[in-house]
Every structure is written in C-alpha cells, then in structure tokens.
C-alpha cells in the first residue's frame, strides 16, 4: 500500500481521519479505494469514531413548496444562526407532501413514501432506494403497516422492519396476527419471517407515524394492551432472533389518554409522555429513562416539562442539560431550547410544520459507500449544487487516473516539467518587461531631446524676429540682405 509506511500504520491513520477526507482519499489509488469501501473498514472506522459526536441533526419540513430540510446544531451549546450548518437533502417526495421518517440510527436515515423505502447517509451525501417489499396490495391485499429501522450489532447489519396488518379480512384472528418482513442491508433484499407468531394479538400500536427507537439490537414501539384496559407498554422487536417482546412501563405513570413515544437519550431507552394529546392547553411532558436495559425497576423520571407559553412538544435533550422543544410562535412554529433551571426559552431560528420536527445525534460514517449510486431526483436540486456535483465528478475522474505507483511517479514528473516550463515562461516575461522598460526610457529621452530642440527653434525664431525689427528701424539699405 505504501513504500514508506507499514500497512498497519497507514490503516491506523485512515481510521482516525474524518469521513470527508476518506471520501477524497479513495481516489489516491485502487488499493486505497478498495480498502476504504470494504465493509470491514466501514464498520471499524465507525467503531473508532462513534463516541466523537458533538452535534445534533434536525429535520424540519416546510410548505409551498413542500420540502424537508436537515441542519446540524451544537449538542453542547445553543447554536447561533451563523453556527447552524445546512445539509442538502437530495430527494423530493413525488407522491406525498413529505417523506415519512421511519427512524435513524448511527447517522443513517430511513424514509418512506407509500411503498418506496429509502436509506440516506447525510455524512457522505448518498442514498439508495430499496427494492419493492414482498408484502404489497397485489400479493396480500390491503394492509396497514408499522415500519421501523434499526441496527443489529451482532451482524453489523442495518434492517428495515415492516409489520403488516391485513385490512378487511373476515377472519378476526387472521387480522390480529401481522405479517412481518425484514430488509437486510447486507443481503440487499426483503424476506417474510415468522415473527408474527410471537406478536400478542391483544397489542395495538399507539405511536403510528412516529419514528421507532433503535437500541441494543432491537427496535422499540409504544403499544397498548386491549386485554388490560389499554394500558401502555413498550413493544420491542429483536433484529437478531426476530422475536417480539414486551417491556412494562412504570406502574401507574401513564394514563390511557397519554401520548407516549419511544426515544434514545444518553444511550438509554426513554419514553416521552405528553399527558394530553396534542391540541390542548396546560399540559406537560414527562421524560422517563430506563437506566438498565430490560430492568423495569430501573425506570427513572428525569424531568417534567410544563408546556406553556406556546411550547407544544418535547423533542430531546442536549448535553448541556437544555431540552429541545417545538414552540408555536404568532406566525410559525420553531425549534427552541428550554433551560429547565431558569425556565427560559431560546428560539433557534429553525422553522417548519408542526409535529414534523425531529432531532437525533449526528454521527459520521461510511455506510452505503460500498453500494451502487442511486439516481438523484432532479426536483429540488439547485443549479449551484449541479455545478458543484459536476466539478466534483470531473475532479474524481482526474484523481482516479492515479491507478498505480508508476502512474503517480509519471504524473509527478509531468508536474515537475510543467513547473519548469512555468519558471521559464516567467523568466521570458520578465526579460520582455525589462526590454519594454528600456524602450520606454529611450523613447522618453528622445521626447525630451525633441522638446529641447523645439524650444531652441522657438528661441531662434524669436531672435530672428527681433533682429528684423531692429534692421527696419535703422532703415539702412545695406541691412536688408543680412
């Protein structure tokens, strides 16, 4: 790989580099490109850098035109407007107003519109469209699906889960048992599993439309048990053994009318509970964290946030202890930061549609780098971005000419020869400039001499005129021929 450094040293250096640098260094040689795009390097690079995230990624959607935007903010402090970084989103939904966010994990996003699923990695600006699911209207009739997205650390695999309930079936028991299919990024395909057999028929989902929470190799939803007075519970789906399990919530903490959804806060499974559903006043949100995963007695209430003064919904926590909330202002809705100690609210200047805001940890990774490029939607792509992509493509093509050590040496020799030619050209230009200066000085001297001669001629003409006038006054005939 290198004539100067051992391969293990080069590998260690590459592991420490940011994603942006690695994307450029793929073009150094074929061997580097092959190394950086291997699943082993992608996984090991993420493992080496997963704890270095100090940013949050914010999703917000706007109307007219219907667009969704993504921005990076500081996780430690409230970002000012000039510190907020914008990330281009390469897609525009062609069939609905906005994509539905299924979930995000390790910096990778899963989005959905009707039967189209997309995985997007904002850190490398790349997305792929998944193949069509197995369960469709044509194959299984009308179904209602609850989707989730998670990561299985045992196989280093990202998976999309679809839980499909048949609609309009005459058999009640058949309607209660869902069909479950799983997409594996490593395998690149969907498959129907027998996971529906472990799904309790009395469970119904209570967080439709909300992203699921991925943690410890499982995805987590909020459900209600119809057989237990619709008491809320957490339903998990293990991405490894593909089995549903139930996790109890704190006893007596929630009511059946509460709006609860799962989240991950500080690396722990969390519950955000709004005591009344959406458009009501004087409600509050309690934040619960499971300190030890799977242990019901470890549920702990962190905060209770009073939603007043336009505060609508709690989105998450920052490392500085502030709480990110969705706030309603007189003319729009905006992401805000709430300090629970001072009870002060600071607007962050990120506006969007209500209940479409989403906040998650931003993690750089190389996932999807080894996958084929997908066609970018032409809608919503600015001319500036097209020009930048064109420039990047031309630079990528030029760099990829370096396919061997000999090619690099040859290119280096050509660069040196071109540098010598530039030096010679500069010397020629300098000599010509000196010659021009000499010529200008000579011309200036000639002009000065001509001016001197002109002044002498003027003096001679003046003397001759005065002499002629003197002869006329003397009147002597002999003077006429002087």
Task: Establish if 23 belongs to a structural domain.
Answer: yes
Contacts of range 177-185, beta carbons closer than 8 Å, 24 or more positions apart = 177/201, 179/135, 179/140, 179/143, 180/237, 180/242, 181/133, 181/134, 181/135, 182/239, 182/242, 183/117, 183/130, 183/133, 183/159, 184/157, 184/159, 185/119, 185/157, 185/158, 185/159, 185/367
Residue 215 maps to a domain: no
Per the domain annotation, does 148 fall within a domain?
A: no
Predicted confidence at residue 214, as pLDDT, reads: 96
428 belongs to a structural domain: yes
Pick from 51, 64, 73, 54: nearest CA to 357: 73
Q: Which of 144-148, 194-198, 299-303, 460-464 has the lowest mean pLDDT?
A: 460-464
435: in domain: yes
Query: Greater confidence, 135 or 115?
Result: 135
Rounded Cα–Cα distance for residues 337 and 175 (Å): 43
* DSSP single-letter state for residue 376: P
CB atoms within 10 A of CB 38: 14
Residue 181 lies in a domain: no
Higher pLDDT, 332 or 385: 332
pLDDT of residue 66 exceeding 90, the answer is no
Tell me if 262 is assigned to some domain.
Answer: no
Which of 47-61, 140-154, 289-303, 433-447 is predicted with the least confidence, judged by mean pLDDT?
433-447
Q: What residues make up the domain containing 437?
A: 411-455
Residue whose structure tokens are 């998650």: 360
Q: Of the ranges 50-64, 180-194, 227-241, 424-438, which one carries the lowest mean pLDDT score? A: 424-438
Nearest to 323, CA basis, from 344, 336, 312, 338: 338
Question: How far is Cα 99 from Cα 66, in angstroms, rounded to an integer?
Answer: 10
Number of domains in the chain: 2
Please indicate, yes or no, if residue 158 is contained in any of the structural domains. no
- pLDDT at residue number 246: 95
Q: pTM score > 0.85 for this model?
A: no
pLDDT band with cut points at 50, 70 and 90 for residue 168: low
């Amino acid at each position: 790989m290198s004539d100067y450094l051992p391969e293990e040293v080069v590998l260690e250096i590459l592991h420490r580099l940011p994603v942006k640098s690695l994307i450029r260094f793929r073009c150094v040689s074929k061997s580097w490109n092959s190394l950086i795009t291997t699943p082993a390097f992608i996984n090991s690079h993420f493992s080496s850098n997963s704890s270095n995230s100090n940013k949050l990624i914010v999703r917000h959607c706007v109307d007219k035109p219907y667009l969704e935007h993504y921005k990076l903010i500081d996780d430690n402090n409230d970002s000012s407007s000039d510190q907020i970084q914008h990330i281009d989103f390469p897609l525009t939904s062609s069939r609905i107003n906005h994509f539905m966010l299924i979930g995000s994990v390790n910096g990778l996003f899963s989005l959905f519109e009707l039967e189209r699923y997309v995985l997007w990695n904002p850190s490398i600006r790349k997305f792929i469209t998944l193949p069509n699911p197995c369960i469709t209207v044509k194959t299984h009739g009308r179904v209602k699906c609850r989707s989730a997205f998670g990561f299985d650390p045992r196989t280093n695999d990202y998976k999309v889960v679809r839980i499909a309930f048949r609609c309009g079936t005459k058999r009640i028991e058949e309607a209660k048992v869902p069909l479950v299919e799983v997409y594996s990024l490593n395998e690149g395909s969907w498959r129907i599993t027998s996971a529906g057999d472990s799904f309790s028929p009395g469970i119904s989902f209570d967080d439709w439309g909300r992203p699921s929470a991925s943690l410890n190799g499982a995805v987590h939803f909020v459900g209600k048990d119809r057989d237990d007075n619709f008491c809320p519970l957490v339903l998990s789906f293990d991405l490894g053994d593909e089995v549903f399990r139930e996790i109890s919530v704190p006893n007596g903490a929630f009511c059946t009318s509460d709006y609860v959804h799962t989240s991950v806060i500080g690396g722990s499974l969390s519950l955000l509970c709004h005591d009344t559903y959406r458009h009501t006043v004087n409600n509050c949100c309690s934040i619960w964290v499971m300190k030890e995963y799977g242990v019901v007695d470890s549920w702990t209430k962190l905060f209770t946030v009073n939603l007043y003064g336009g505060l609508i919904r709690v989105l998450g926590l920052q490392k500085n202890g502030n709480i990110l909330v969705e706030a309603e202002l007189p003319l729009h809705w905006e992401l805000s930061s709430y300090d629970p100690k001072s009870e002060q609210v600071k607007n962050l200047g990120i506006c969007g549609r209500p209940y479409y805001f989403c906040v998650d940890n931003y993690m750089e990774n190389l996932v999807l780098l080894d996958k084929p490029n997908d066609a970018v939607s032409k809608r919503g792509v600015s001319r500036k971005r097209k020009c930048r992509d064109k420039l990047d493509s031309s630079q990528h093509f030029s760099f990829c000419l370096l396919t061997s050590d000999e090619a690099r040496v040859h290119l280096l020799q050509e660069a040196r020869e071109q540098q010598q030619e530039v030096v010679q050209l500069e010397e020629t230009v300098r000599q010509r400039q000196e010659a021009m200066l000499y010529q200008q000085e000579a011309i200036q001297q000639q002009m000065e001499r001509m001016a001197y001669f002109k002044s002498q001629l003027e003096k001679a003409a003046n003397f001759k005129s005065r002499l002629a006038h003197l002869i006329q006054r003397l009147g002597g005939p002999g003077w006429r021929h002087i």
